[in-house]
Amino acid sequence: MQSILHKFRRQSVKFNIIILSAVLLAVIIFSVSVGSAKLSFAESLKLAAAKLPFAGRFVDSAYLGTKYETIVWKVRMPRTLTAALVGASLSLVGAAFQGIFRNPLADPHILGVSSGAAFGATLAMLTGAGAGFMGLGTVGIFAFAGALAVVFLVYSISKISGEISATSMLLTGTAISTFLSALISLLMTFHNDQIEKVYMWTMGSFSSAAWGKVGFLTLFAAIGAGILLMYARKLNLILMGDDDAKCLGIDVDRTRRHIIAAASILVGASVAVSGVIGFAGLMIPHCIRLVAGADNKKLMPYSFLLGAIFMTLCDVAARTVAAPTEIPVGIITAMFGAPYFIFLVLRRRKGIVLQP
Amino acid sequence: MGNNLDKIQINGLVWQPDKNAEPVLSDVNAMLHSGSFYGILGPNGAGKSSFVRQLLRLQMRNSGELAFEQNGIKKDINSITREQLAGMISFLPQSIVSDVDFTVYDVVAMGREPHRKRFTPLNREDRDKIEEAMKFTNCYHLKDRRIQFLSGGERQRVMIARTIAQDTPWIILDEPVSSLDMKHQYDVMLVLERLRTEKEKTIIAILHDINLASAFCSRFILMKEGSVYAAGPAKEVLTRQNLKEVYDMEFDFIKSPEHDRIYITAKYKTDIRRNNSNEIK
């Protein structure tokens, strides 16, 4: 194991991205083959390959019947892709936030984005307003709007004091986050018939996934991830300190603003689709740093792919461990994540991990 | 606009961190010319760091003039973009982040940022400049090491290599030798000296050791309470009277028996006699 990790560090970025992508593909095929209707890995692969635009002609999957095709294509595939996209987005944002705030404890929810989303979702559930947009239900739209509104609020408040510092944003984010959580609790005390629904939503789940939502996520994930990856090199300089980055010609405030905006789109879209899923965004970048170092040109794309792999597997666990009961995936990520994180904290003494 | 920079002119510069605070820089006047090795001296709190941070526009100013002169054209520092500034002056800050898991090569390569376009990897020229800079400060053999595991002296050589890779005509260093032992202090100063003579760099360094400064610097800026107390060559600035005024203590001027050099040392008035004599034998 040690030698594999060592090789990983020394290989070129392209090579590692290809390896991680191959693993992700295998995990996705595995995920669509697992469930109450049993399919082998090879059969799932055939069903998936049959949909490819050109190569599909050479794959014979007709003998599996339309029932399996429906299960794989209408149910499991959109769900698996949603999990992968959400995992990828959250982990990438975790890496970006840990860098931009120079704080190893920063995670995608640190600016209050998720509380904003949860507040929006709660409002939607309680008012029962009906609307639809890009495959999102009312709850999703309210959550997305709430997420973006909170980031804008946090940013504007920290700007009042003049220069926008990482600390003032983190403190404002925490304050607003706490405030909104209290507000959600208050709303729930007056509507205790809805408590379970709201509670389950905040735990996070991919059970409501559909192709429409996959489309919505893909669009925003592509925009957000594209912008974040563009800033990888500048983020490296900011990691060395604001003054340092400025003296190397970087407009630090603008860079920070762009990164926060792109990250908020990613988190907002993820939370709108799947609720609040913790720990993945905090943990995955630290795992990557442990083997590949702090260079964001590697850290960001690797986190994106490993996040997708991790979340896909967590979702498989969520729907199979206690089948037919489904466990909210947020519980799975936290139960895997927390012990691993403690392990990382203990390793910290050796001076290797938990740096931004 | 080229990267050359002939002069920096500072007139009546005032900076106070916020409205109710005492000004840190109360009235700074100075003229910096290219080609010199400036040593900035003065007690803690005299405004040395704030002064050099002004030259890099890392702080706003409340009033006064701060202008760069190129080919006879004067420009206010605020009208120069960050990118242009990064092409003229490189900076080694007093404390550097050292807990980030970057390799030495990665860190030195950061110096090329002002010369690089987005999305393009390091080109041939970049890699040559990086290698040359590392060899210049004798840290090329460390290139694959991680910065968090370097010693203080090694790290400082790496950071100076980065300022060299940035390839600017002026280099500013905030206390580049304060955390180093005497031998490493001397080594770093020798590198700076060579930068001036071999690469014609203009060097501005904040220093605390008066003797080290007087051995290497060609010009001195002595600061006290937020303004420049004296500026010029050693014999005008490092006088017994000036030092007494600025540091508020007495100094001894000792002529070296071997070289034609005067060493300046603080007079210590201690009457305490310890059991064992602490005379140096």
Per-residue pLDDT of A99-157, as tens digits, reads 998 888 888 888 888 889 888 888 888 876 655 555 567 778 888 889 889 988 988 88
For residues A288 and A302, the answer to whether their CB atoms sit within 8 Å is yes
Q: Does B85 touch chain A (CB under 8 A)?
A: yes
Give the least confident one: A69-73, A141-145, B32-36. Answer: A69-73
Q: Does B164 touch chain A (CB under 8 A)?
A: no
Query: How high does pLDDT run on average in chain A?
Result: 83
Neighbour tally for B75: CB within 10 Å:
14
For residues A59 and A341, the answer to whether their CB atoms sit within 8 Å is no
Residue the block writes with tokens 């940022």: B113
Using a 10 angstrom Cβ sphere, with 0-12 exposed, 13-18 middle and 19 or more buried, the burial of residue B278 is exposed
- Paired with B15 in beta bridges are B25
Greatest distance between any 2 Cα atoms in chain B: 68
The pLDDT of residue A324 is 79
CB contact under 8 A, A236 and B110: yes
Dihedral angle, C-alpha B19, B22, B24, B27, nearest 10 °: 90
Q: Which of A59-68, A123-132, A253-262, B116-125 has the highest mean pLDDT?
A: A253-262
The pLDDT of residue A219 is 93
B76, part of any domain? yes
Gyration radius from chain A CA atoms: 21
Architecture of domain A77-350: Orthogonal Bundle (1.10)
B chain contacts of residue A249, beta-carbon cutoff 8 Å? 82-83, 85-87, 113-114
The region that residue B73 occupies, defined by phi over 0 for left and psi between -120 and 50 for alpha, beta otherwise, is beta
Indicate which of B99, B104, B120, B160 best probes the interface with A, i.e. most A CBs within 10 Å of its own CB.
B99
CA distances from B210 to B43, B215, B251, B262 (A): 11, 9, 11, 11
CB contact under 8 A, B110 and A248: yes
| Residue from the list A230, A240, A248 with its beta carbon closest to the beta carbon of B97 | A240
How would residue A162 be classed by pLDDT, with cut points 50, 70 and 90?
Answer: low
Per-residue pLDDT of B43-97, as tens digits, reads 999 999 999 999 999 988 889 999 999 888 899 999 999 999 999 999 999 877 7
B189, part of any domain? yes
Q: Who wins on pLDDT, B212 or A343?
A: B212
Residue type, A94: G
Model ipTM value:
0.86
CB contact under 8 A, A236 and B106: yes
**Backbone φ and ψ of B146, nearest 5°:** -90, 140
Residue range A244-251: mean pLDDT, rounded:
92
B chain contacts of residue A244, beta-carbon cutoff 8 Å? 91, 93, 96-97
The pLDDT of residue B278 is 56
Please say if the pLDDT value at position B36 is more than 50: yes
What is the span of the domain harbouring residue B67?
A: 7-266
Indicate which of A101, A163, A228, A248 best probes the interface with B, i.e. most B CBs within 10 Å of its own CB.
A248
B281, part of any domain? no
Residue B139, min C-alpha distance to chain A (Å): 19
Going from N- to C-terminal start, the domains of chain A cover 77-350
For residues A32 and A80, the answer to whether their CB atoms sit within 8 Å is yes
Dihedral angle, C-alpha B31, B33, B37, B43, nearest 10 °: 10
Q: Which residues contact B241 (CB under 8 A, 6 or more apart)?
A: none
| Residue from the list B56, B101, B111 with its beta carbon closest to the beta carbon of A355 | B101
B chain contacts of residue A289, beta-carbon cutoff 8 Å? 101
Read out DSSP for A242-276? HHHHHHTT--HHHHHHHHHHHHHHHHHHHHHHH--
Query: How high does pLDDT run on average in chain B?
Result: 89
Adjacency order of strands within the sheet including B7-15: B25-33, B7-15, B63-70, B73-76
| Residue from the list A241, A244, A294 with its beta carbon closest to the beta carbon of B101 | A294
For residues A280 and A310, the answer to whether their CB atoms sit within 8 Å is yes
**Backbone φ and ψ of A32, nearest 5°:** -75, -15
Q: Does A23 touch chain B (CB under 8 A)?
A: no
CB contact under 8 A, B56 and A230: no
Q: Taking CA atoms, what residue in B is nearest to A292?
A: B101
Please say if the pLDDT value at position A354 is more than 60: no
Please say if the pLDDT value at position A351 is more than 50: no
| 3-class secondary-structure state, position B144 | coil
CB contact under 8 A, B101 and A241: no
Find the helix or strand (DSSP H, E) in which A138 lies.
helix A138-160
Q: Give the integer Cα–Cα distance in Å for B252 and A237.
A: 45
Read out DSSP for A179-230? HHHHHHHHHHHH-GGGHHHHHHHHH---TT--HHHHHHHHHHHHHHHHHHHH
B22, part of any domain? yes
Q: Give the integer Cα–Cα distance in Å for A260 and B218.
A: 47
Read out DSSP for B76-132? EGGGS-HHHHHHHEEEE-SS----S--BHHHHHHHTTGGGPPTTPPP-HHHHHHHHH
- Paired with B205 in beta bridges are B39, B173
The pLDDT of residue A131 is 53
CB contact under 8 A, A239 and B85: no
* pTM metric for this prediction: 0.87
B167, part of any domain? yes
Q: Give the integer Cα–Cα distance in Å for B237 and B219.
A: 9
| Residue from the list A230, A247, A356 with its beta carbon closest to the beta carbon of B91 | A247
B240, part of any domain? yes
A chain contacts of residue B97, beta-carbon cutoff 8 Å? 102, 239-241, 244
Buried b (16+ CB within 10 A) or exposed e, A169-204: bbebbeebbeebbeebeebbeeeeebeebbeebbbb
Q: Give the integer Cα–Cα distance in Å for B55 and B42.
A: 18
- Paired with B10 in beta bridges are B30, B66
B280, part of any domain? no
B chain contacts of residue A241, beta-carbon cutoff 8 Å? 93, 96-97
Residue type, A351: G
For residues A298 and A99, the answer to whether their CB atoms sit within 8 Å is no
Q: Does B113 touch chain A (CB under 8 A)?
A: yes
Q: Does B91 touch chain A (CB under 8 A)?
A: yes
Please say if the pLDDT value at position B172 is more than 90: yes
CATH, residue B15: 3.40.50.300
How are the residues of chain A apportioned to helix, strand and coil, as percentages rounded to the nearest 5? 75, 0, 20
| Residue from the list A233, A249, A355 with its beta carbon closest to the beta carbon of B100 | A355
- Paired with B230 in beta bridges are B222
Buried b (16+ CB within 10 A) or exposed e, A265-292: bbbbbbbbbbbbbbbbbbbbbbbbbbbb
Q: Does B121 touch chain A (CB under 8 A)?
A: no
Greatest distance between any 2 Cα atoms in chain A: 67
Per-residue pLDDT of B107-161, as tens digits, reads 999 999 999 887 788 899 999 999 999 998 889 999 999 888 888 888 888 999 9
CA triplet A328, A334, A338: central angle to 5 degrees? 165
The pLDDT of residue B24 is 92
CA distances from B72 to A339, B5, B206, B218 (A): 65, 10, 28, 24
CA distances from A125 to A128, A130, A287, A298, B53 (A): 5, 10, 36, 40, 53
Q: How many domains does chain B have?
A: 1
Q: Does B106 touch chain A (CB under 8 A)?
A: yes
| Residue from the list B53, B83, B96 with its beta carbon closest to the beta carbon of A249 | B83
The pLDDT of residue B111 is 94
Q: Does B1 touch chain A (CB under 8 A)?
A: no
How would residue A245 be classed by pLDDT, with cut points 50, 70 and 90?
Answer: very high
The pLDDT of residue A211 is 86
| 3-class secondary-structure state, position B169 | coil
Instruction: Report how many Cβ contacts below 8 Å link chain A to chain B.
Output: 75
Indicate which of B77, B78, B101 best probes the interface with A, i.e. most A CBs within 10 Å of its own CB.
B101
The percentage of residues in chain B with a pLDDT greater than 90, rounded to a whole number, is 60
How would residue A348 be classed by pLDDT, with cut points 50, 70 and 90?
Answer: low
The pLDDT of residue B280 is 56
Neighbour tally for B2: CB within 10 Å:
10
Q: Give the integer Cα–Cα distance in Å for A298 and A294.
A: 8
Q: Who wins on pLDDT, B276 or A221?
A: A221
Please say if the pLDDT value at position A24 is more than 90: yes
